[in-house]
């Protein structure tokens, strides 16, 4: 293994950071046309909260669209804890459907009548009685 001195490491880190900032316009900015991931970035906790108890259609190539109902939108901040710093949000979307709705854990194309089209990663929760649950976690820096 080659010895790396602190001076070489700091020099390489500075050069890498400089290169990344010079490419910022190409790498870090969202495209002007809204693809599914950029569209999701515009949807916040309050937006999803307004859509509780409405249907979201989940689809992907090779799988028939499945309608899931948004059952709850829960802020992941624990009760009694300090407020989350400004510019951060984390919440959990809980979707429900009948027991016959099977969706493997994956990223889906989602359509909603009020929110439009976006992409969302979901995972299956547990099956309880005649209901199956699915979850999506949104955890991001907003500013």
Domain ranges of the chain: 36-141
Q: Which residue has the higher pLDDT, 126 or 120?
A: 120
Distance CA 12, CA 21 (A): 14
- pLDDT tens-place string over residues 62-91: 888 999 999 999 987 765 566 666 677 889
Structure tokens at 9: 């490491």
Q: What is the mean pLDDT of the chain?
A: 78
Is the confidence at residue 22, as pLDDT, over 60? no
Q: What's the pLDDT at 142?
A: 72
Is the confidence at residue 126, as pLDDT, over 80? yes
Distance CA 103, CA 9 (A): 46
Q: What's the pLDDT at 127?
A: 86
Q: What's the pLDDT at 37?
A: 64
Q: 103 CB contacts (<8 Å, ≥6 apart)?
A: 58, 63, 66, 68, 122, 124, 134
Question: Do 116 and 71 form a contact (C-beta atoms < 8 A)?
Answer: no
Distance CA 134, CA 122 (A): 6
Is the confidence at residue 6, as pLDDT, over 80? no
Q: What's the pLDDT at 28?
A: 41
Question: Do 100 and 127 form a contact (C-beta atoms < 8 A)?
Answer: no
Distance CA 117, CA 40 (A): 9
Distance CA 31, CA 142 (A): 17
Rg (CA), the chain: 20
User: Could you count the other beta carbons within 10 Å of the beta carbon of residue 96?
Assistant: 17
Lowest mean pLDDT of 12-21, 69-78, 91-100, 109-118, name the range: 12-21
Kindly state the average pLDDT of the residues 32-47: 73
Q: Which residue has the higher pLDDT, 113 or 3?
A: 113
Confidence of residue 9 (pLDDT cuts 50, 70, 90): low
How far, in whole angstroms, is CA 8 from its chain's centroid? Answer: 38
């Amino acid at each position: 293994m080659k010895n790396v001195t602190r001076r070489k490491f700091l020099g390489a880190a500075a050069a890498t950071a400089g290169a990344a900032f010079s490419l910022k316009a190409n790498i870090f900015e969202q495209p002007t046309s809204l693809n599914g991931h950029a569209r999701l970035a515009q949807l916040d906790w309050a937006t999803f909260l307004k859509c509780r108890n409405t249907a979201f259609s989940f689809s992907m190539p090779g799988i028939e669209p499945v309608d899931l109902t948004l059952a709850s939108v829960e802020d992941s901040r624990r009760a009694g804890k300090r407020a989350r710093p400004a510019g951060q949000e984390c919440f959990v979307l809980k979707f429900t459907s009948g027991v016959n709705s099977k969706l493997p854990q994956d990223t889906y194309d989602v359509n909603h009548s009020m929110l439009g089209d976006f992409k969302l990663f979901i995972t299956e929760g547990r099956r309880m009685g005649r209901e199956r649950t699915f979850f999506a976690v949104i955890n991001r820096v907003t500013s």
